Structure 1
Amino acid sequence: QVGMRQQWELGQALRRRYRDFLSDTYRRQEIFIRSTDCDRTLMSAEANLAGLYPPGGQEMFNPNISWQPIPVHTVPESDERLLKFPLAPCPRYEQLQTETRHSAEYINKTKENWQFLQMVAKETGIRDISLESIWSVYDTLFCEQAHKMDLPGWVTPEVMTRLKELKDFGFEFLFGIHNRVEKARLQGGVLLDHIRKNLTKASNASAHQNLKLLAYSAHDTTLVALQMALDVYNKIQAPYASCHLFELYQEDDGNFSVEMFYRNESGKEPFPLTIPGCQHKCPLQRFLELTDPIVPQDWEQECKVSSSMHDTELFVGLAVCGSILLLLIVLLLTVLFRIQSQPPGYRHVSNEGEEHA
């Protein structure tokens, strides 16, 4: 119920923020909600909407229920290509992750925490625990802690702090550390492209848009992927019920500007985010220019590993195989030569004895 309450409070906060923008009552033309096809994100969206649109008057279909049904749209998880990160399959992204694992920062981080990782592996029974997988340990313990459950004896406050630090690093590993911009094009840039198109469409006066609010209910990795693409990520895992806001304003001169806000703490107003290279109130065209390099032109094509890399790998593979084959031939010829050049020893004596017999 803690998560439900957090989302309900977020919905109420959005109602207060946009009370002069959204209609007092739910109008389906004004809002569209999209969620990943996961129970928890669908439930989060529904709890949020309960706070955003509390029913009143004719909306009360049952006087004992202060709630009204509002549609939440989704697609099957197998078809999800917008909100569930990391997006897959993407061979080029996997190649970048392999390169990241060989970066100095990743190697040094692993060395610094090797003994701690081994301790966690021993206490949890999880084999091959790493900087990439330790998030699952922290998540489990954090949830147990949030629900007032007793933690294992080895989980001290210091251990929880260190687990959180490593989890934050693991999130950064997914979308940064090495070649952040290219990773962004293959990951968070996909969602950003969708957001950019909606902002552009909303700024088109001839489109006569009734839609006022487009909301996504997704995951912490979704938010990290988006913020890493925008280069505004604070390197701290997003807490539950976090919210990244994009607001489009029309100025007095008719031009449009974009403002971003981030709400990561209940009870406090969202704080402003500024994309590097622009002021907080960023002109829409400038916003589009700055984000253009991190938006894929053809995601499927960019996810392919370039043929030159394939050719190089093939050449190296053939060279290695050729070298091994040559070594085997030389070894075989050497053995044959030694057999042929071996002195007769006492074999002639044995043969002569056999002839006299």
Structure 2
Amino acid sequence: MVCLGWKQTWYHASIRLQENFSKRLLNPNRPITSMPLKAHRTVIAVAVLANLLRVAMCRELEYATVFWNAGAYSPMYTETNGLYFLTHYYWVHGAGTITNVGLQQSYALGQYLHGRYAELLTQPCYKGALFVKSTDDDIAISSALAVVAGISPILEYDVWNGSDTTWRPIPIRVSSPNDDDYLSLPKSGEEYNSLRDKIFSSDWMMNYMSNESDFFETLYNKTDKHWNITNIYEFAADVSMVLQQPTLSVLASLIGNDGTIDALHQVYSIYLGSLFTDFPGQYTTAVSKLQGGVLLNHVVQDILDRANEPREMPVLTGYSVPTTTLVGLLVTLGNYDWVAPDVSSAIMIELYNDSGTYQIEVHYRNGVNTINPLKIYECDYSCPLENFTYIAERFLAADAEIEGGSGSSSNTTIDDDENDDSEDDTSIATCDGILIGFISALFIVSFLSIGVIIYLLGKARAPNASEFDRL
């Protein structure tokens, strides 16, 4: 049973508090008379609170979908940005390839996901519990391999190459270039191209370019090249990748001071966001119906299928995608803050079963520094599946539908007379058994606690009585 929300936070906090008081109370090196009686009562109160929270936590994580981008890679546009001289000396695998630093970052993300979903992945990943798909480019595929190696560490009985190989190959699916690849955003098309042109020629964008004219002039003086919002992203992306390499960060001084670097990052963030929306949000819905909404509705369909068949594999689906795809999904979810995702970032969409009622939680890991829950429009951080499905339907194209969703209300409890409810009944019955077990444990712990308190109070009073008699 897994809970990553406020219940788990308070539950573990109460457990730690209970353990601290227990250690103080039962410390053989501490005189029992030095422990005030109110601390004994606190131990009981905390124990009761912990057990009550344990009873209340009948909430199970059943499925998760994770999107991530790659770790650091060598600059892609070295020929146009004057970095070609580094390609053969530093990035020996060439331009646009994941670096050793990037592999380490992707592997660390996999380790984080392994820890987060350890109780969900009760079966080995190669048995079908994990499904991973990547877009068809070398960086994304390499990242997928490194992340999976971190998610599924090798077990002792799985060592297949002596003791030197610390991972077991897990299948990775790759999107075919000939398919309608919904993982690669933005997808070109006449309608989308028209909307994108409107965004880049909007008053908001023109005002932004005007306000940044001094910055673009500074770059022109350094590079002898005219820059604007539509071509500077290549330069900004390359600089960002250079800064990821510790031994090359000194090259930043050739570009400018920290203010110049920050301005480059901001321009890059504005460019990525403008592929899917404008700052006033006038084009968000229209673009999302062609881009992030398509991806979101694929996710919702997978979630609905999993809610109907909670015992089916896989239980964790991962997608290795470009940074632009992460931005498009964040825009559709209403959570792009105009700061470009760092390398090795992830969006985690989780399905919980709370006593038969399904809920969605979305978390965003921006690089390795922050992990934040996302509030999806008017929905709370823990969003009923029915509400989440309704939000996704806003971004359906006119000729698209979510099976079982569009045109009909989704049943949050997934209780359909035409379906076999035996598995749901088993889940609820199991939950009831857990409740009974916890309640029984609560009574046993309470009686044991009272006995311990009576014994300790007796021990505490005995020395005091003898001292009173001597007086």
What TM-score bracket applies, with the shorter chain setting the length?
Answer: 0.7 to 0.9
Matched, 1:137 2:235: yes
Matched, 1:68 2:168: yes
Matched, 1:261 2:350: no
Matched, 1:153 2:254: yes
1 CA distance for matches of 2:255 and 2:268?
18
Give the 3 Å change call, closer, same or farther, for CA 154–12 of structure 1 in structure 2.
Answer: closer
Contact 2:346/2:367 (8 A) holds in 1: no
**2:462 aligned residue:** none
Worse-superposed segment, 99-108 or 75-84: 75-84
Task: Return the offset for 1:125.
Answer: 4.4
Equivalent residue letter for 1:286: N
Equivalent residue letter for 1:226: L
2 CA distance for matches of 1:110 and 1:277?
33
**2:120 aligned residue:** 21
CA RMSD of superposed structures (Å): 1.8
2 CA distance for matches of 1:167 and 1:222?
15
Q: Pick one of 96, 102, 113 that aligns with 1:3.
A: 102
**1:250-301 residue CA offsets vs partner (Å, 9 max, x unmatched):** 111x121101001113265x321110111111110111112211122437xx
Equivalent residue letter for 1:163: L
Contact 1:258/1:284 (8 A) holds in 2: yes
**2:23 aligned residue:** none
Task: Return the offset for 1:48.
Answer: 0.6
**2:422 aligned residue:** none
**2:179 aligned residue:** 79
**1:24-69 residue CA offsets vs partner (Å, 9 max, x unmatched):** 6323321110101111111111111111111112211012111111
TM value normalised by structure 1: 0.78
Contact 1:25/1:55 (8 A) holds in 2: no
Equivalent residue letter for 1:275: I
Equivalent residue letter for 2:292: G
**1:150-208 residue CA offsets vs partner (Å, 9 max, x unmatched):** 32524221110111111111112111114111011111111101101001110103x75
**1:30 aligned residue:** 129
**2:277 aligned residue:** 176
**1:235 aligned residue:** 338
**2:56 aligned residue:** none
**2:24 aligned residue:** none
**1:214 aligned residue:** 317
> Which SS does the other structure have where 2:381 is aligned?
coil
Equivalent residue letter for 1:298: D
2 CA distance for matches of 1:44 and 1:119?
35
Contact 1:34/1:216 (8 A) holds in 2: yes
> Which SS does the other structure have where 1:271 is aligned?
strand
2 CA distance for matches of 1:26 and 1:230?
29
Contact 2:341/2:367 (8 A) holds in 1: no
2 CA distance for matches of 1:24 and 1:214?
14
Task: Return the offset for 1:84.
Answer: 1.3
TM value normalised by structure 2: 0.60
Q: Pick one of 203, 218, 221 that aligns with 2:307.
A: 203
**2:394 aligned residue:** 293
Task: Return the offset for 1:118.
Answer: 3.5
Q: Pick one of 289, 300, 311 that aligns with 1:185.
A: 289
Instruction: Tell me how many residue pairs correspond in the alignment.
Output: 294
1 CA distance for matches of 2:220 and 2:174?
37
Equivalent residue letter for 1:281: S
1 CA distance for matches of 2:369 and 2:167?
23
Show structure 2 runs of 5+ residues with no match. Answer: 1-99, 401-471
Equivalent residue letter for 1:158: G
Contact 1:277/1:290 (8 A) holds in 2: no
1 CA distance for matches of 2:225 and 2:183?
29
2 CA distance for matches of 1:64 and 1:101?
52
Equivalent residue letter for 2:385: L
> Which SS does the other structure have where 1:164 is aligned?
helix
Of structures 1 and 2, the larger Rg is shown by 1
Contact 1:49/1:70 (8 A) holds in 2: yes
2 CA distance for matches of 1:227 and 1:286?
18
Matched, 1:52 2:52: no
Equivalent residue letter for 2:348: L
Contact 1:246/1:258 (8 A) holds in 2: yes
> Which SS does the other structure have where 1:241 is aligned?
coil
Q: Pick one of 262, 265, 272 that aligns with 2:373.
A: 272
**1:165 aligned residue:** 266
Equivalent residue letter for 2:313: N
Equivalent residue letter for 1:101: F
Worse-superposed segment, 183-192 or 58-67: 58-67
Equivalent residue letter for 1:123: K
Give the 3 Å change call, closer, same or farther, for CA 125–74 of structure 1 in structure 2.
Answer: farther
Give the 3 Å change call, closer, same or farther, for CA 98–265 of structure 1 in structure 2.
Answer: closer
Give the 3 Å change call, closer, same or farther, for CA 79–155 of structure 1 in structure 2.
Answer: farther
Task: Return the offset for 1:133.
Answer: 2.0
